[in-house]
Amino acid sequence: MNEQNAGGARQRSVEIVVPVYNEAHVLAGSVGRLHAYLESSFPFPFTITVADNASTDATWQAALDLTQRLPHVHAVHLDAKGRGRALKHVWSRSEADVVAYMDVDLSTGLEGFFPLVAPLLSGHSDVAIGSRLHRQSAVQRGAKREFISRSYNLLLKAGLAARFSDAQCGFKAVRTEVFRALAPHIEDTAWFFDTELLVLAQRNKLRIHEVPVDWIDDPDSRVDIVRTALDDLKGMRRMFKQTITGRARIAAVPHRTRTTTPVLPAGAPATSAEHLEYAS
């Protein structure tokens, strides 16, 4: 995956995972759009990996068809459900310098992807998240989902002292070596995976970068909001207990110093979007 530029230096690379479950009807269109966008405007080597976690429709065949048609697309199949399980499986095995993911509905505007990963590629940050709650974000979603999202993030601030603004936006990235250090300590295999990753990163003094995003709610979303909320509350309780029992810190999480000379290639888009960083 890692390639060399004209001067012989190794270029840093990114692997983007698209976790899917029964998404045969939208997979080709979404991945095709993502592939075209990255091929035309992303200045680093990239791979898109479709992670099919136990779909029961034609999703796996659609994923295989994409690998034959698009040069930077790969696919993996898991026999058990869970977004967190799919991400952990692919990210732990990645050869890229930075691993990322986005939801298959592409609710988050793709123009936010380069500002998301650039600070990780340059060594400026360790984890990056898109935030729908940033004052510069443009979000279109119903009042119910808006209330649930804001309430959840307030609970994280009160219960786990979270200093990141949006735990569940499906638009995140992390330096691969950092993820490998955190992965054995992430227990959740479903939707709480994102929150657990971020809380562990904060507790271990890693630099969390936030970018505002444009986000449009997917009317076809089949997420069970009630069940997900209950699972999230259970996850928060577990992590709160870890704090009390002293299991909050991890030894030997790799930190990388910011490069004195940016690694961004000539012609790369500017990263002018305002961002925030949190490091305990």
Close Cβ partners of 219 (under 8 Å, ≥ 6 residues apart): none
End-to-end CA distance of the chain: 33
Look-up of token digits 């279109």:
140
Nearest Cα to Cα of residue 107 among 278, 205, 223: 223
Calpha distance 38→45 (Å, rounded): 9
- CA 166 vs CA 23, 172, 263: distances in Å: 25, 11, 28
Candidate list 126, 188, 194, 232, residue with the active-site label: 194
Amino acid at 167: A
Calpha distance 182→77 (Å, rounded): 23
194 classed as catalytic: yes
The strand pair at 98-102 and 14-20 is best described as parallel
Calpha distance 29→50 (Å, rounded): 13
- CA 93 vs CA 51, 154, 260, 280: distances in Å: 13, 34, 29, 28
Supply the DSSP symbol for 44.
S
Active-site residues, by number, are 194
